[in-house]
Amino acid sequence: MSEKNYLVFDFGASNGRAIVASFDGEKATTDVVHRFEHGPVYVTGTLYWDILYLFSELMNGLQASLSQYPDIRSLAIDTWGCDFGFIDENGKLVANPVTYRDKNRISRSSLLYEVIPQRELFELSAGATSEIMGIFQLFSFQYDNSLEIRSGRRMLMIPDLLNYFLTGRIYNEYTNATMTLLCDQYNRTWERRILERMGISPSILNELIMPGDKIGVIQEDIREQFGVGPLSVVAPATHDTASAVAGIPVTDSRKHWAFISLGTWAIMGLETLKPVVTDAVFASGYGNNAIPEGRNMLVKYIAALWIIQQCRSRWRNEYQRNLSWDEIVTASENAGPSKAYIDVDDPLFGQPQVDMPGIIQEYCQQKGQEIPNSMGEVARCFYESLVLKFRYNLELLEKISNKSLELLHIVGGGSQNKTLCQWIADATGISVVAGPAETTSMGNLIMQLKADGEIRNLEEGREIVLRSSSIEQYEPGDKGYWDDVYEKYLRLFSFSS
């Protein structure tokens, strides 16, 4: 068959890309046609996303893609989870969405539990009760009687909002909706009782659609702008992690396998047929979120490459040059074993910082540790701390799932860091399969192929990814060093093994 072209928009929390995926019936290839960087905008005490800039870049990506591939069959958008905006009774945007890193959202998170106890929220939603989840921002809006609450009539997650701008259709895609903690994941519907307890009308919620559903076509004014016909818009798993999990090229389904989607955040977990709601899951900080075809991922959200990204920004300014990731990794290797560690999940590291290396140094000093001084020492401190956090949470995952893990898939941009992947294999004693870096876009493509009738199910899609991708295998080496520092790490942060 001749190649069929599909347009993938993959927007992360720090950059976005328009990718044309070409499918020949057996394999898929990808071409990054447009890319851009973005980030939160701090205005009058609040941290926002510039949604109109994001839509403008989406339009730029659409134009660039159509100029090179005029025969695109459909497009689909995935983004990070948790965040949302409102439209008013006239269908107009009420305000820019507030980011999950906004300090007001975080400072008021505990107040929500006075309305809905944490354990009850977990049981109703089946999700991890992390303060990044959308319900905490919604509660903050309600607490302040904000413009969003006063004027907002429909709540749309970031990809829902972008698709509304494209098509005029109002809906909520299910995988991203589960990132609000407002869903009944047992029955795949809204849990309206949660909103009622908060004193918010459930009318802000919209029809839920599933990955692979066709949303509609781009609006006429956009078609006229680009001189194209009624281009189809498809719902992928709009939560980028759900798309990433959908796109994992499972190399051996007979083994007990887990995954880490490694980027700004590390999302660690395993795939299950239904939500897992137990005392052990709640106590561990794990929770459930939806992935395509009615499946579930039992996951934990761990602060990850955001920290070293913030460090890199500082070092770039300090050294007045473009600093590559290879330079940072090489410097960390040359620094030798770390003499200090951080808890990457400490809220201190989750906030935008002007001087993240300085924050790490101060943190280590306060913990009575030797202070990492050079760029290499700070990077080594971060990478080893991240590896140890992964080991700790993988051990928890084995306990709550009653499975002895045999294989760990690492996907996303972090899978390209060979040193980090080998350290994870060494520290955990588990074989690592790394790649592809484009797992999210592949998962997005899979749902477009399903909507177009090219494949029947997720398994067929994953076979395409496996045939199309380059992956790396990392076998565990000497675990002795990691066993020693892991005991030190557990004592330092009072974690129980």
3-state secondary structure of 226: helix
What value does the mean pLDDT of the chain take?
Answer: 96
Chain position carrying tokens 């996951």: 299
Domain 249-435+471-497 in the same topology as domain 4-238: yes
Question: By the 8 A CB rule, do 236 and 444 touch?
Answer: yes
Q: Is the pLDDT of residue 497 over 80?
A: no
Question: Is the Cα torsion angle 396, 406, 211, 157 positive or negative in sign?
Answer: positive
Q: Where are the domains of the chain?
A: 4-238, 249-435+471-497
User: For residue 428, what pLDDT is reported?
Assistant: 98
Structure confidence by residue, pLDDT tens digits, 233-242: 999 999 999 9
- CATH class label, 4-238: alpha beta
User: For residue 328, what pLDDT is reported?
Assistant: 98
Question: By the 8 A CB rule, do 314 and 356 touch?
Answer: yes
CA distances from 173 to 56, 76, 437 (A): 22, 12, 24
Rg (CA), the chain: 22
Quickly count: other Cβ atoms within 10 Å of residue 281's Cβ.
Answer: 22
Structure confidence by residue, pLDDT tens digits, 367-393: 999 999 999 999 999 999 999 999 999
Question: By the 8 A CB rule, do 185 and 127 touch?
Answer: yes
pLDDT band of 108, cuts 50, 70, 90:
confident
In whole angstroms, what is the distance from residue 78 CA to residue 449 CA?
A: 15
User: For residue 2, what pLDDT is reported?
Assistant: 87
- CATH class label, 249-435+471-497: alpha beta
Mean pLDDT of 450-475: 96
Q: Which residues contact 254 (CB under 8 A, 6 or more apart)?
A: none
Helices within 69-133 (DSSP H only): 103-107, 109-115, 118-125
The pTM score is 0.94
How many helices (H) and strands (E) the chain has is answered by: 20, 21
Amino acid at 493: F
Nearest Cα neighbor of 116 from 198, 21, 34 is 198
In whole angstroms, what is the distance from residue 161 CA to residue 137 CA?
A: 17
Strand runs (DSSP E) across 185-291, as ranges? Answer: 189-190, 208-209, 214-217, 232-234, 257-262, 265-272, 287-290
Mean pLDDT of 157-181: 99
Question: By the 8 A CB rule, do 215 and 75 touch?
Answer: no
Q: Is the pLDDT of residue 1 over 70?
A: no
Structure confidence by residue, pLDDT tens digits, 411-420: 999 999 999 9
User: For residue 5, what pLDDT is reported?
Assistant: 99
User: For residue 109, what pLDDT is reported?
Assistant: 82
pLDDT band of 331, cuts 50, 70, 90:
very high
